Chains A and B, each alone.
Chain A
Amino acid sequence: MWKSIIYKEWLKIRWTAIFSIVVVLLVCGFVFLKVSHDIRTTDANNFWYSILFMKYNFFTLLKFIPIIIGIALALSQYFPETVDKRMKLTFHLPVEENKILLQMHLFGTAVLVAVYLLLFLLFFAGCRYYFPIEMTVAAVLTVLPWIISGLVGYFMVSTIILEPIWKFRIFYALVAFGFITLFYIRAEQAAYAHAMLPLFISAMMASISILFSGYRFRKGEM
Chain B
Amino acid sequence: MYAIECKNLTHYYGKKLVYENLSFHVGEGSILGLLGKNGAGKSTTINILNGFLQPHSGNCYIYGEDSQHLTPANKARIGFLIEGHIQYAFMNITQIEKFYSGMYPNWKREPYWELMAKLKVQPLQKISTMSCGQRSQVALGLILAQDPDLLILDDFSMGLDPGYRRLFIDYLREYAKAEKKTIFTTSHIIQDMERLIDDVLIMDYNRILAQQPISEFMKNFKQFRFTLDNPQAVIPKNELIWNVEQIHDKVECYTYASEENLKQYLSGSQINYTGFTEVTMSLEDAFIGLTGKY
> Is there an interface contact between B76 and A218, defined as CB atoms closer than 8 Å?
no
Contact of A92 with B75 in the complex, beta carbons under 8 Å: yes
Write out, one digit per residue, whether chain B residues 148-181 have a CB within 8 A of any chain A CB (1) or not (0). Answer: 0000000000000000000000000000000000
Query: Is A94 in contact with B99, judged by CB distance below 8 angstroms?
Result: no
In contact, A93 and B75 (Cβ under 8 angstroms): yes
Main SS at interface, chain A:
helix
Contact check, A8 vs B99: say whether CB atoms are below 8 A apart: yes
Q: Which A residues between 77 and 93 are near B, CB-CB below 8 angstroms?
A: 80, 83-86, 88-89, 91-93
Is A218 a contact partner of B103 (Cβ separation < 8 A)?
no
**Is the pair B95, A11 in contact by a Cβ cutoff of 8 Å?**
yes
CB distance from A26 to the nearest CB of B (A): 26
Shortest B149–chain A CB gap in Å is: 13
Given known A-B contacts A220-B53, A220-B54, A93 and B82 have beta carbons under 8 A apart: no
* Structural contact, A4 and B100, CB atoms closer than 8 A: yes
> How many angstroms between the C-alpha atoms of A80 and B128 in the bound complex?
11
Binds A, one of B32-40, B83-91, B223-231, B252-260: B83-91
Whether B80 lies near A92 (C-beta < 8 A) is: yes
Chain A residues contacting B102 (CB-CB under 8 Å) are: 1, 3-4, 7
A residues in contact with B75, CB < 8 Å: 92-94
Give CA–CA (A84, B128) in the complex, Å.
12
Q: Which residues of B contact A12 (CB under 8 A)?
A: 90
Using Cβ atoms and an 8 Å threshold, which residues of chain B touch A222?
Answer: 13
The residue in chain A whose Cβ has the minimal distance to the Cβ of B90 is A80
What is the interface size of chain B, counting residues whose CB is below 8 A from a CB of the partner?
29
Is B219 close to A, CB under 8 A?
no
Q: Chain A's nearest CB lies how many Å from the CB of B105?
A: 9
Expressed in whole angstroms, the Cα–Cα distance for A95 and B103 within the complex equals 9
A84 touching B72, Cβ below 8 Å: no
A218 engages B52 (CB within 8 Å): yes
Question: Once the chains bind, are B50 and A219 in contact (CB under 8 Å)?
Answer: no
At the interface, yes or no: B98 with Cβ under 8 Å from chain A? yes
Report whether A89 and B90 are in contact in the complex, using a CB–CB cutoff of 8 Å. Answer: no
Please pick, from B53, B86, B101, the residue contacting A219 in the complex, using a CB distance under 8 A. B53
C-beta contact mask, B86-127 vs A, less than 8 Å → 1, else 0? Answer: 111111000100111111100000000000000000000000
Q: Which residues of B contact A84 (CB under 8 A)?
A: 82, 84, 86, 89
Taking a contact as CB atoms under 8 Å apart, the answer to whether B103 and A1 are in contact is: yes
Q: How far is the CA of A86 from the CA of B88 in the complex (A)?
A: 7
* CB-CB contacts below 8 Å: A95-130 with B: 95-96
Q: How far is the CB of B19 from chain A (nearest CB, A)?
A: 15
CB atoms of A220 and B47 under 8 A apart: yes
Residues of B within 8 Å of A85, CB to CB, are 82, 86
Beta-carbon contact of A86 and B86 below 8 Å: yes
Knowing A4-B102, A8-B99, the reply to whether A92 touches B50 (Cβ < 8 A) is yes
Which residues in B have their C-beta under 8 angstroms from that of A80?
88-90
A7 with B99: in contact, given A94-B72, A96-B72 (CB under 8 Å)?
Answer: yes
A94-B87 CB under 8 A given contacts A4-B100, A7-B102, A218-B51: no
Tell me whether B1 is interfacial, beta carbon within 8 Å: no
Alpha-carbon separation in the docked complex, A12 to B82 (Å):
21
Q: Is the CB of A219 within 8 A of B54?
A: yes
Q: Are A8 and B88 in contact (CB under 8 A)?
A: yes
- Which one of B50, B73, B103 lies within 8 Å of A88 (CB-CB)? B50
| B78 part of interface (Cβ distance < 8 Å) | yes
The closest CB in chain A to the CB of B152 belongs to: A92
The distance from the CB of A97 to the nearest CB of chain B, in whole angstroms, is 8
Q: Report how far A109 CA is from B25 CA in the complex, Å.
A: 44
Cα distance A91–B72 in the bound complex, in angstroms:
10
Determine the distance from Cα of A91 to Cα of B69 in the docked complex, in whole angstroms.
12
Interface string of B46-69 (1 = CB under 8 A from A): 010011111000000000000000
Q: Residue of A at shortest CB range from B77? A: A94
Given contacts A88-B50, A93-B75, A220-B52, contact A11 B90 (CB under 8 A): yes
Can you list 19 A-B contacts with CB-CB less than 8 angstroms, sorted by A residue number?
Answer: A4-B99, A4-B100, A8-B99, A11-B95, A12-B90, A80-B89, A84-B82, A85-B82, A86-B86, A88-B82, A88-B86, A89-B80, A89-B88, A91-B51, A91-B52, A92-B75, A218-B52, A220-B53, A220-B54
Rank and list the top 6 A-B pairs by shortest CB-CB distance, nearest first.
A4-B102, A220-B53, A94-B76, A94-B72, A84-B86, A94-B75
- Give 20 A-B pairs besides A1-B102, A84-B82, A89-B80 with Cβ atoms closer than 8 angstroms: A1-B103, A7-B95, A8-B91, A80-B89, A80-B90, A84-B84, A86-B86, A86-B87, A86-B88, A88-B50, A88-B86, A89-B82, A92-B78, A93-B75, A93-B103, A94-B73, A94-B76, A219-B52, A220-B47, A222-B13
